[in-house]
Amino acid sequence: MKTSELLGSTRRGFLTVTGAAAALALTGSLPEIERADAGATGRPDRRDPFTLGVASGDPLPDAVVIWTRLAPEPLAPFGGMDRRPVQVQWQVAEDEHFRRVVRHGTTQARPEASHSVHVDVRGLRPWRHYWYRFRVAGHYSPAGRTRTAPAYDASVPVMTMAFASCQAWWEGWYTAYADLARREHDVVFFLGDYIYEFGIDRGVRPHSNEDYVTRETVTLDEYRNRYASYKVDPDLQAAHASAPWVVTQDDHEVVNNWADEAHPSAPPAQFLVRRANAFRAYWEHMPLRLAQLPKGPDMQLYRRIRYGRLAEFSVLDTRQYRSDQAYGDGSKPPGPESLDPARTLTGDAQERWLLDGWTASRARWNVLAQQNALAQLDVKDGPEILVPMDTWDGYAASRARVLGGAYRRKVRNLVSIGGDLHRSVASDLKLDFADPDSPTVGSEFVGTSITSGLDGMDNDAGGLTLLRENPHIKFGNFQRGYVSCTITPRQWISDYRVVDRVTVPNGTVSTRAKLLVEDGRPGIQTV
């Protein structure tokens, strides 16, 4: 059977098993949600509907998405809302006191979207700060701060950004997010594992033995509940309210190490139902446009965000289109299966989109915002090589096409940012990782987790092995935190912010390392 026929057959099988219970996740449309003239419905409610905070995202020179979700009882079904639409007013202002309101309107929070609101605010000015808020039945939301992108042809002297990943709620407090919010970045990239789907016995936070934490998420209501349990956190809310976010998924937004339609937990048709549930809940809780609204088990996540002529960010999706993990996953020696040129991490269409975008780019910095480590990670001491099959190492030909394509196109200042590893790793990206004298194509900064993995330490045995066995790795650390970056036409500085302890509230945040990449000189330097 041809691949196209197999996929079509799987999709048909998927449609036969959905039924009414899954229909909400599978509609693929939200009638009238984008309209700003929707009539008022629903009844006044004395409860605060804004318990999950506000967020903004995907900035353009003239637009930004603003988000909230009405949930007066965030951990109750439907957030404690009646199952009918509610009118929501919104404002965008040039000042934090809302004396200079420049855009306003009304929309509807609809039950089929779990009463979430995604307003694509247009007609804004480039590279400007704005403040936004929502109002429902006399209740005002907290105010959020956002910033549009510069004009596409603008010369930008400096921008600041942060990136983060992996925020297991039960494994620690979000102290890193409190620090991120205070530093007022122009944009924040979140690179995957916003939630964790599996159940646990107990965590370090109060209430982490509750059913909504200990039960694995499979249904749409369970995924919605998991997002709500994370988003009630005040430090996460502060980080969202401090700057626009650009988000993408990794695996745990659905289930650990899933690959396209494959996961050992269920046959493909059943797994696609779970994927549809997960995607729907993800969109409902993220500041994403209608262009990212899932159509059943499919969601368009890869996209570009441009910051004038200074930086272009290619945001990847390395889950929906990948080949299944080689050799049954885990860490294995490279072999015919993992080296197979037919295998892909991105899918053919996304790979072409990436390389074509680099061909056309005129940006000073070309940034790959993706979920994992692009650099080779030999995790075993000694002459034998063991690499993780779930990272780019398990898709060596796919990596070679990407890095080789960048090298042949002479892509200027290639920088990869990633996550997933629960450790900080900064590397030179080599054309051939087996040859230390091979050309350096770009630079990579992998950030650690916000909380996943508990407190950690400055470096562990696995991190020391990585440094010994991989000469292209220039820095490693095994604490929790995030990465704050300052970008100018002449240099990129990554400030690795780490927390001494996340298993208690109010840990101490400090800079563990400042790493530099110079314009026209690929490779990591220490400041």
H/E stretch holding 337: helix 336-339
Let me know if residue 325 belongs to a domain: yes
On whether both 334 and 403 belong to a single domain, the answer is yes
Q: 471-498: string of b/e by CB count within 10 Å (b at 16+)?
A: ebbbbbbbbbbbbbbebeeebbbbbbbb
In angstroms, how far is CA 371 from the centroid of its own chain?
Answer: 8
For strands 331-332 and 303-307, give the pairing.
Answer: unpaired
pLDDT digits (tens, 9 = 90+) for 205-238: 998 888 888 899 999 999 999 999 999 999 999 9
On whether both 429 and 328 belong to a single domain, the answer is yes
On whether both 26 and 93 belong to a single domain, the answer is yes
What does the H/E/C string look like for 403-461? Answer: HHHHHHCCCCCEEEEECCCCCEEEEEEECCCCCCCCCEEEEEEECCCCCCCCCEECCCH
Closest CA to 492 of 359, 317, 307: 307
On whether both 386 and 443 belong to a single domain, the answer is yes
Among candidate residues 80, 114, 146, the one where a domain is terminated: 146
- Per-residue pLDDT of the chain in tens (527 residues, 90 and over written 9): 333 333 444 443 444 344 333 444 444 444 333 333 333 444 556 899 999 999 999 999 999 999 999 999 999 989 999 999 999 999 999 999 999 999 999 999 999 999 999 999 999 999 999 999 999 999 999 999 999 999 999 999 999 999 999 999 999 999 999 999 999 899 999 999 999 999 988 899 998 888 888 899 999 999 999 999 999 999 999 999 999 999 999 999 999 999 999 899 999 999 999 999 999 999 999 999 999 999 999 999 999 999 999 999 999 999 999 999 999 999 999 999 999 999 999 999 999 999 999 999 999 999 999 999 999 999 999 999 999 999 999 999 999 999 999 999 999 999 999 999 999 999 999 999 999 899 999 999 999 999 999 999 999 999 999 999 999 999 999 999 999 999 999 999 999 999 999 999 999 999 999 999 999 999 999 98
Among candidate residues 146, 180, 205, the one where a domain is terminated: 146
Task: Give the burial class of 27: count Cβ atoms within 10 A of its Cβ; 0-12 exposed, 13-18 middle, 19 or more buried.
Answer: middle
Let me know if residue 247 belongs to a domain: no
On whether both 442 and 318 belong to a single domain, the answer is yes
- pLDDT (0 to 100) of residue 44: 56
pTM of model > 0.85: yes
SS3 assignment, position 218: coil
| Cα 387 to Cα 85: distance, rounded to the nearest angstrom | 50
Residue recorded with tokens 């995202």: 57
| Cα 120 to Cα 324: distance, rounded to the nearest angstrom | 36
Helices (H), 197-267: 211-214, 220-231, 234-242
On whether both 428 and 502 belong to a single domain, the answer is yes
On whether both 83 and 175 belong to a single domain, the answer is no
On whether both 158 and 35 belong to a single domain, the answer is no
SS3 assignment, position 38: coil
Among candidate residues 91, 112, 146, the one where a domain is terminated: 146
What's the CATH number where 35 sits?
2.60.40.380
Let me know if residue 220 belongs to a domain: no
Let me know if residue 515 belongs to a domain: yes
Let me know if residue 202 belongs to a domain: no
DSSP conformational letter for 2: -
On whether both 377 and 397 belong to a single domain, the answer is yes
Q: Do residues 516 and 475 lie in contact, with contact meaning Cβ atoms separated by under 8 Å?
A: no
Let me know if residue 231 belongs to a domain: no
Let me know if residue 421 belongs to a domain: yes
Residue 431's domain comprises 151-192+301-526
On whether both 520 and 440 belong to a single domain, the answer is yes
On whether both 341 and 446 belong to a single domain, the answer is yes
H/E stretch holding 402: helix 396-408
Q: How many domains does the chain have?
A: 2
What's the CATH number where 423 sits?
3.60.21.70
Neighbours of 158 (CB within 10 A): 11
Let me know if residue 390 belongs to a domain: yes
| Cα 168 to Cα 451: distance, rounded to the nearest angstrom | 6
On whether both 170 and 140 belong to a single domain, the answer is no
